Amino acid sequence: MSETAVGFAGIGRMGLPMAQNVLRAGFPLTVWNRTSARCAPLVEDGATLADTPAELATANVVVTMVADADAARAVLVDSSLLARLAPGTVVLEMSTIGPTAAVELADSAREHGVDLLDAPVSGSVTVAESAQLFAMVGGEASAYERATPVLNAMTKGHVLLGGSGAGAAMKLALNSMIAVTDVSLAETLALAERFGIDRGQAYDVIAGGALASPFVQYKRPAFLHPETTPVAFTTALMRKDVVLAEELASRLETEIETASAAGRVLDRAIDAGLADEDMASVIRLFASHNGAEPPQSPPDTREG
Ligand SMILES: NC(=O)c1ccc[n+]([C@@H]2O[C@H](COP(=O)([O-])OP(=O)(O)OC[C@H]3O[C@@H](n4cnc5c(N)ncnc54)[C@H](OP(=O)(O)O)[C@@H]3O)[C@@H](O)[C@H]2O)c1
Compute φ and ψ for 173, nearest 5 degrees.
-60, -45
Say if 296 falls within a structural domain. Answer: no
pLDDT tens by residue, 122-144 = 999 999 999 999 999 999 999 99
> Are 36 and 88 within one domain?
yes
pLDDT of residue 291: 41
- 162-212 residue pLDDT tens: 999 999 999 999 999 999 999 999 999 999 999 999 999 999 999 999 999
The pTM for the full model equals 0.93
Amino acid at 206: I
Q: Is residue 152 part of a domain?
A: yes
For position 89, which CATH number holds? 3.40.50.720
Pocket test residue of 39, 49, 65 for ligand 1, highest count of atoms within 8 A of CB: 65
Task: Say if residue 27 is in the same domain as residue 156.
Answer: yes
Q: Exposed (0-12), middle (13-18) or buried (19+): which is 107, by Cβ within 10 Å? A: exposed
Phi, psi of 78 (to 5 degrees): -60, -30
**292: DSSP letter:** S
Final residue before a domain boundary, out of 101, 136, 163: 163
State whether 120 and 194 are in the same domain. no
Q: Write out residues with Cβ below 6 Å of ligand 1.
A: 10-15, 33-35, 38, 65-68, 70-71, 74-75, 95-96, 121, 124-125, 232-233, 237, 241
**Closest atom of ligand 1 relative to the 124 alpha carbon:** 3
Neighbouring C-beta atoms of residue 197, cutoff 10 Å: 14
How far, in Å, are 27, 160, 215 from residue 146 at the CA level? 14, 13, 31
User: Residue 156: which domain range?
Assistant: 6-163
Same domain? For 202 and 262 the reply is yes
Could you tell me if 279 and 177 lie in one domain? yes
How far apart CA 115 and CA 77 sit, in angstroms, is 14
| Claim to verify: residue 119 and residue 178 sit in the same structural domain | no
Q: CA quadruple 201, 236, 255, 162: dihedral positive or negative? A: negative
- Taking the CA of residue 127 as reference, the ligand 1 atom at the shortest distance is 3
CA 170 – CA 168 distance, rounded (Å): 6
Q: Do 159 and 243 fall into the same domain? A: no
pLDDT for the residue 248: 98
User: Which residue ranges in the chain fall short of pLDDT 50?
Assistant: 1-2, 290-304
Is the same domain home to 186 and 145? no
- Distance from Cα 13 to the centre of ligand 1, integer Å: 7
Look at the chain and report how many structural domains it folds into: 2
